[in-house]
């Protein structure tokens, strides 16, 4: 009888563990807004897949820039870094709105929240403050804007005229962001090197 109870208990625990893992995986998939948007667009036959991929990536990147800019307002130490974050919120919010309008006109579904990778990026950065935040945030902004420019340059050559015009219009803004991010990033590195030499 005891052996039977132990077997039943073990079986019950295995079923419960399996169920919880299944629910966790499904919740994880459900919570990844970017993948959800991609899956919805995949099923639409009347849209340009290349255009939808660009728009989903651009929307995800834009939302991340706004969210990181908001964290910057709380966690940054340097005034130039804070001013950069303010510019990110203002510019990328406007780009995001224009992108939404364009997506609606083309029947493309955009993510309404950050995907898992971007959530992790935001979560990691929100735990850092002061000079460490400034350094990591500006490093990230240089890398992000290089990727953004590559993405928008490719879209500016799209066969879809409205998409190419939109991307072409946004590129100078992104290049300004990259120039500014690079200058601030270099300033932070130079200061850090000077402090380290003085020790």
Provide the residue range defining the domain that includes 187.
Answer: 32-198
Cα torsion angle, 123, 95, 186, 153, sign: positive
Say yes or no to pLDDT of 11 above 70: no
20 lies in a domain?
no
Token reading at 136 = 């990591």
CATH number of the domain bearing residue 159: 1.20.1260.10
pTM over 0.85: no
25 lies in a domain?
no
DSSP string, 59-117: HHHHHHHHHHHHHHHHH--SHHHHHHHHHHHHHHHHHHHHHHHHHHHHT----SS--HH
Where residue 28 falls among pLDDT bands split at 50, 70, 90? very low
Tell me how crowded residue 60 is: count the other CB atoms within 10 A of its CB: 21
For residue 115, what pLDDT is reported? 87
For the ranges 29-33, 63-67, 159-163, the lowest mean pLDDT is seen at 29-33
Token reading at 95 = 């780009």
What's the total number of domains in the chain?
Answer: 1
Say yes or no to pLDDT of 64 above 70: yes
Tell me how crowded residue 38 is: count the other CB atoms within 10 A of its CB: 19
24 lies in a domain?
no
Where residue 199 falls among pLDDT bands split at 50, 70, 90? low
91 lies in a domain?
yes
Say yes or no to pLDDT of 142 above 90: yes
For residue 23, what pLDDT is reported? 40
Burial of 123 (0-12, 13-18, 19+ CB in 10 A): exposed
150 lies in a domain?
yes
């Amino acid at each position: 009888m005891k052996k039977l109870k132990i077997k039943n208990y073990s079986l019950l625990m295995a079923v419960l563990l399996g169920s919880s893992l299944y629910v966790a995986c499904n919740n994880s998939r459900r919570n990844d807004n970017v993948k959800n948007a991609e899956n919805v667009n995949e099923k639409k036959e009347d849209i340009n897949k290349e255009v939808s991929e660009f728009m989903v990536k651009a929307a995800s990147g834009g939302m991340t820039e706004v969210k990181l800019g908001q964290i910057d307002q709380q966690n940054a130490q340097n005034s130039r870094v804070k001013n950069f974050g303010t510019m990110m919120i203002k510019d990328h919010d406007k780009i995001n709105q224009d992108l939404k309008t364009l997506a609606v006109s083309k029947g493309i579904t955009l993510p309404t929240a950050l995907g898992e990778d971007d959530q992790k990026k935001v979560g990691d950065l929100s735990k850092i403050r002061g000079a460490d935040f400034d350094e990591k945030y500006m490093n990230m902004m240089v890398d992000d804007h290089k990727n953004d420019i590559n993405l928008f340059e490719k879209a500016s050559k799209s066969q879809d005229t409205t998409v190419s015009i939109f991307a072409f219009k946004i590129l100078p803004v992104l290049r300004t962001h990259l120039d500014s991010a690079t200058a601030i990033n270099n300033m932070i590195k130079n200061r850090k090197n000077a402090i380290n030499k003085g020790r």
